[in-house]
Structure 1
Amino acid sequence: MKRMDRKLLALGFAVYLYILIKIILFKYAPVEIAFLLRQLHSVMEHPEIIENGLAYANFTPFFSIHQNLDHLSNTHDFVNLFGNIALFVPLGIFTRLSAKGGLFTALVLSLGISFSLEGSQLLLSMGSFDVDDLILNVLGGLIGYAICLVVPQPAAAFQKKS
């Protein structure tokens, strides 16, 4: 891959990560580092906040997914189910385009980034931890990777320049 292509890929990946963090952690609020620091300070002063977060966390695989599937006509459930998948499709594509990333890399990156974001939601009291989000995010990453296998022309063109 040419140096310029690598730079564009890295820039695209950085923009993707920013958007991912914005959507998952900040939802519709602006990205503010000061807010993150206040949240962290608050949790450090009141560790029971994490206990409360753990009490509301979902550690039962497929519990939320089952609920979402039962209520797909509800916009929130529909967006939660398919949004968690769609958000990580680009990660699988970036993994495949990087030329070094195989299926296992896509799986590990999807799981690692998803777990980091879910853990951040819990630790910063900015959302709730849900194991089903991990499952859906990893599925999205693997779908993105598979898209590059099924539609190999863009990936092959990108990788031939190596």
Structure 2
Amino acid sequence: METPAFMRPALRTVRPLIKPLTWLALALYIGLVVYVVFFARRRQNIVWSPHLVNLVPLANTIRAYRDVAYIGQWNYWSNIFGNIALFVPLGPLVAAATGFRRWRWLLAIGVGASVLIECAQYVLEIGVPDIDDVILNSTGALVGIILWELLFRKIYRLLLYK
């Protein structure tokens, strides 16, 4: 794909900034994830207990669906889509910053990051360590990788190399 003539002067000035800005975006994203998972106000109301740990896939999600009248539609759906959306940017940002191309490695990074977060929640006794979060976060990472492959990688390459 050839770069249009009107974009070439702008790309010459922007191109050297793309890689550093990508690394900055990745660092800001990681900071946001750490804040949301460990420091957001909603976490202050949880009294940690080892009984909160869930290692049975989808058990808490199904239980929450049954109790949706008590916990509220917003809380139920924001937990599901929030966990997915939180990890959508991970794959594209890691791919753009590091140059990883294989979707399996990007997915492994997403799953590993989610497992690391859940283990940290357990060790630090913050939040609720839940296998459902790993499943939802991994789904979000996969969605991000698919978006990267279908849309963003071509645009990123155009900006960086053409």
TM-score, scaled relative to structure 2: 0.74
Structure 2 letter corresponding to 1:11: L
5+ residue gaps, structure 2: 1-14, 43-47
Q: Which residue of 2 aligns with 1:154?
A: 155
TM-superposed deviation, 1:108: 1.0
CA contact (8 A) 1:97 1:158 kept: no
Decide which structure has greater helix share: 2
Q: Which has the larger radius of gyration?
A: 2
Structure 1 runs (4+) greater than 4 angstroms displaced: none
**Separation in 2, partners of 1:28, 1:148:** 32
Q: Which residue of 2 aligns with 1:96?
A: 95
Structure 1 letter corresponding to 2:144: G
**Separation in 2, partners of 1:11, 1:106:** 19
1:74-100 CA distances to partner (integer Å, 9 max, x unpaired)? 211111100000000000221332432
Number of residue pairs the alignment of both structures matches: 139
What secondary structure does 2:89 align onto?
helix
Q: What is the percentage of aligned positions where both structures have the same residue? A: 26
CA contact (8 A) 2:122 2:128 kept: yes
TM-superposed deviation, 1:102: 1.8
Q: Evaluate the alpha carbon distance shift between residue 158 and residue 144 of structure 1 in structure 2; reply closer, same or farther with a 3 A threshold.
A: farther
Q: Which residue of 2 aligns with 1:125?
A: 125
CA contact (8 A) 1:59 1:130 kept: yes
Structure 1 letter corresponding to 2:61: I
**Separation in 1, partners of 2:118, 2:40:** 13
Q: Which residue of 1 aligns with 2:23?
A: 10
Q: Evaluate the alpha carbon distance shift between residue 131 and residue 156 of structure 1 in structure 2; reply closer, same or farther with a 3 A threshold.
A: same
RMSD: 2.5
TM-score, scaled relative to structure 1: 0.74
5+ residue gaps, structure 1: 30-49
Matched, 1:22 2:35: yes
Counterparts in 2 of 1:4-153, with a 5 A limit?
A: 4-28=17-41, 52-53=49-50, 55-69=51-65, 71=68, 74-98=73-97, 99-152=99-152, 153=154
Q: Evaluate the alpha carbon distance shift between residue 146 and residue 158 of structure 1 in structure 2; reply closer, same or farther with a 3 A threshold.
A: farther
CA contact (8 A) 1:68 1:81 kept: no
**Separation in 2, partners of 1:57, 1:67:** 14
